[in-house]
Structure 1
Amino acid sequence: MLAADRIIALALMGLSLCFMIYALRLPIGWEPETGPGAGAFPFWLGLGMLLASAAILARSFVTRPHSDETFIPDADAIPQILGVVGLLLGAIALIPLLGAYIALMLFLLGYLRIIGGHGWLLTGILMLTTPVFLFFFFEVTLKILLPKGITEPLFYPLYAMFF
């Protein structure tokens, strides 16, 4: 298990460095009229990923494993893993058609209600608040427009208010 931890940590560190290098091609500082530069979010996200991966790598040298057993998911976990993978692929496939927000809502519905077995109240709250938060974070704050698909006309009044 330690070898796998170390290999994955090193691979993630390399990927983080690639993200940071490509992000540095864009401005990462604060731009007076528009806010954070286009490379700010990818750069700082890459740095966080690099630090987390470095911590995992360091921990693999400090801690001793509890056992040398290989992790193999039990038979009950495999359908859940496949269900989550299917939901993710379905959500990704729906983004161009329905937009990121509707695809996210459908993913959360499937994940929380069907796979997780959570109640309708929690599912409904998260299905509604998560896309709203992401809209304000990406589109209003960072000025990064996410794909809307056929729902684009529904956003015109919001664009008029915030842009």
Structure 2
Amino acid sequence: MRRAEITTAGVLALLSIYMMWKSTELQIGYIRGSGPGGGFWPFWLSAIMLLCTVLIAINGVRRKSPPSQTDEPFLDGFALKNLVFVGGALVAFLLLISVVGMHIAIFLFLIYYVGFLGRHSFVVTASLAIGVPIAFFFFFDGLMRIPMPTGMAFTNPLYDVLYGLIY
């Protein structure tokens, strides 16, 4: 566990540094009269992630975190099964985005994850599966003006209704 914790922190630290470097291709500072530059949020979120990974690695090396104090294996049978179920669902989610769009893919993923894997009630599952994609739509497409992928043409009537609400 300790080795896995430190290794994961190292990999995430390298990814954070890479994302910080890539975000400097855009302006990372505040642009007078316009607001934060295009690289502002990616840069600073990556910097925060880098700081967190350094702290995790330090705690792992000093054996201050619970995972670094145990001799248990990183992945036992139960954890491996969960990794396959969740990892497979994430791969399916990513493949579905180009077919049915981001929001419907989120809807389907939440039904699987919350309802099937989490075994939550129908009310909780339906509330999250319907509410989260709608909130994402209004946040990204409406408020931020960042359109998410809508998939193939058969999903357009649904999006036409939602776009009618914000434009």
TM-score > 0.5, shorter chain as reference: yes
Q: 5 Å matches for 1:65-84?
A: 65-74=68-77, 76-84=78-86
Give secondary structure in 1 for the equivalent of 2:135: helix
2-side partners of 1:69 and 1:158: how far apart? 49
Displacement of 1:144: 2.0
1-side partners of 2:52 and 2:135: how far apart? 25
Partner of 2:90: 88
Residue 154 in structure 1 maps to residue 138 in structure 2: no
1:61-91 deviation line (CA, Å, top 9, x unaligned): 33354333323323x4443332212211111
Give unmatched runs, 5+ long, in structure 2: none
Residue 18 in structure 1 maps to residue 21 in structure 2: no
Q: 5 Å matches for 1:1-163?
A: 1-30=1-30, 32=33, 36-63=36-63, 65-74=68-77, 76-150=78-152, 151-159=155-163, 162=166
CA 1:67–1:140 in structure 2 vs 1: closer, same or farther (change >3 Å)?
same
CA 1:144–1:87 in structure 2 vs 1: closer, same or farther (change >3 Å)?
same
Number of positions where the alignment pairs a residue of Structure 1 with one of Structure 2: 161
TM-score by length of 2: 0.81
> Are the equivalent residues in 2 in contact too, given 1:36–1:142 (CA < 8 A)?
no
Displacement of 1:58: 1.6
Give unmatched runs, 5+ long, in structure 1: none
Percentage of identical aligned residues: 34
